Amino acid sequence: MAFVTSGAPLLVSRRASASSSLLGRPVSVPAAVAPLRRAARQHGAAAVHSRAAGPSMSAATEPARKGRGLIQHKREAFWFYRFLSIVYDTIVNPFHWTVGMRDKSLAQAGLESPGRNLVTVDVGGGTGFNTEGVLKYVDPQYVTLLDQSPHQMAKAKAKPSLTGVTFVEGDAENLPFPTGYADRYTSAGSIEYWPEPQRGIAEAYRVLKPGGKATIIGPVRATNWFSRFWCDLWMLFPMESEYRKWYEAAGFYDVQVGYIGPEAYKGVRSHGLIMGLTITGTKPLNGSLEPLCQLGPMEEDREREMTLLDRVLFLPKWIVGLIAGGYYFVLPFCIMLYAALFIRQPREA
């Protein structure tokens, strides 16, 4: 059921500190090409072409993740985007998050309404690429783009296509909106930087009206051992089972999952995808207004003063995190080259 509201949305002064935004990758690193041929043989031409194919490894057989990625922290992500924002729209979207992928994902978000007036928050909206997709369904005065990076948002604010959208600097794990505020929640390429993804999804549940829908678009973990090392070192690449677990723990029902990937990859998914999965859940009409999961104090706050040890470790960890991200800058070129040379598209009937 869609909840249609009239009038521009009003924000409340709930404390906002730091959220993250979309995907990313910088420096260059050695590329992993070898296992791609194996991936193609595994799927077969027709199956590889289908982006609806699920993960090839179950949660039971997937090796456990050891701790958080080096850039899966609010302060580290903030500085990561301080530099990536300069070239984000030119080096990220073309290889990892295309218009076709965005439109397919948002078709699942339930954004359509006769009055184009579903109050929508786009969390971790960054330079506004996902928000532009939201505006195909919702008029700008009902849309709020939230991000922890002023540098990313500066790029978004400069786009004529986002005129009329409200911009808020804030934290995905501590949203500055009242309970039951929005009809729709969207977030693309942000969850990978959340130190506590369960908390971020619980906040999505809290800010929605009963019957509202939350759609998150994010990475999927690599099943290839070499790529899995780099994605785990860099940031959070969840498994589908983890997305589902977080949604259900928050209180969402009717959870739906869709699979996306760059068309040029021709279905290769074993190396992980920075944008590979879309998940949507609905807040019950007669359920709790607050999330079901009970969480303690927020673990990270970018404004909290750093200890001496934090200061000593910050730069080395950040640089190694950039190198890990660099792997995913090189990898798309290897996958696309391999797919072009060795994977044949099935002929359409």
pLDDT value at 38 more than 60: no
**All residues at 6 or more sequence positions from 10 whose CB lies less than 8 Å from its CB, including other chains:** none
- Token output for 11: 């924000």
pLDDT value at 174 more than 90: yes
pLDDT value at 54 more than 50: no
Query: Residue 72: its pLDDT value, please?
Result: 81
Instruction: Give the predicted TM-score (pTM) of the model.
Output: 0.80
Q: What is the pLDDT of residues 291-346, one digit of tens each?
A: 999 899 988 887 778 788 878 888 888 899 889 989 998 999 999 999 999 998 76
Q: What is the pLDDT of residues 193-229, one digit of tens each?
A: 999 999 999 999 999 999 999 999 999 999 999 999 9
Alpha-carbon distance 149 to 85, whole Å? Answer: 9
pLDDT value at 47 more than 80: no
- Higher-pLDDT residue of 61 and 50 is 61
Alpha-carbon distance 138 to 296, whole Å? Answer: 35
Percentage of the residues of the chain whose pLDDT score is greater than 90: 60
**Mean pLDDT across 8-34:** 38
Query: Residue 245: its pLDDT value, please?
Result: 98
State the sign of the Cα–Cα–Cα–Cα dihedral 181, 184, 189, 195: positive
Alpha-carbon distance 266 to 268, whole Å? Answer: 6
pLDDT value at 125 more than 90: yes
Alpha-carbon distance 332 to 348, whole Å? Answer: 26
The listed range with the strongest mean pLDDT (36-50, 68-82, 263-277) is 263-277
Alpha-carbon distance 187 to 126, whole Å? Answer: 10
